[in-house]
Amino acid sequence: MTTPENKPPNHNGEPGPDAGVDEIQADIEKTRDELGETVSALAAKVDVKARAEEKVAETKDRVVTQAQAAKPAVPYAAVVAVVVAVLGALWWRRRR
């Protein structure tokens, strides 16, 4: 039979029955921190307006990034087209 004296240690991180005041206070502080994080996470999930604004900002950033990545392709294509046109015009004039 287990008595408080030979009781196995608690494996869930809580202080045992023979824990000192410091251990109990540390456990209380840890529990408060965890509870605060949980409440913050739940509040963030409930705040639909903030979640929608965050999603809009993410989408805007993604679109801006894609637009900036596509910009260099247009000038390169324009330069190639101009070079081909100039070379074509020179070749055509020499043949005449």
What are the pLDDT digits (tens) for 53-88? Answer: 999 999 999 999 988 877 666 678 888 999 999 999
The residue among 6, 7, 13, 49 whose CA lies nearest residue 31 is: 13
In a domain, 10, yes or no: no
Contact call for residues 57 and 48 (beta carbons, < 8 A)? no
What is residue 16's predicted lDDT score, i.e. its pLDDT?
82
In a domain, 13, yes or no: no
Q: In which domain, by residue range, is 65 found?
A: 21-95
The one-letter amino acid at 48: V
pTM above 0.95, yes or no: no
| Total structural domains within the chain | 1
Confidence of residue 47 (pLDDT cuts 50, 70, 90): confident
In a domain, 15, yes or no: no
Range ranked top by mean pLDDT from 13-22, 43-52, 71-80: 43-52
In a domain, 78, yes or no: yes
Q: Which residues of 52-66 are buried (b: 16+ CB within 10 A; e: fewer)?
A: eeeeeeeeeeeeeee
Task: For residues 33-49, give the mean pLDDT.
Answer: 92
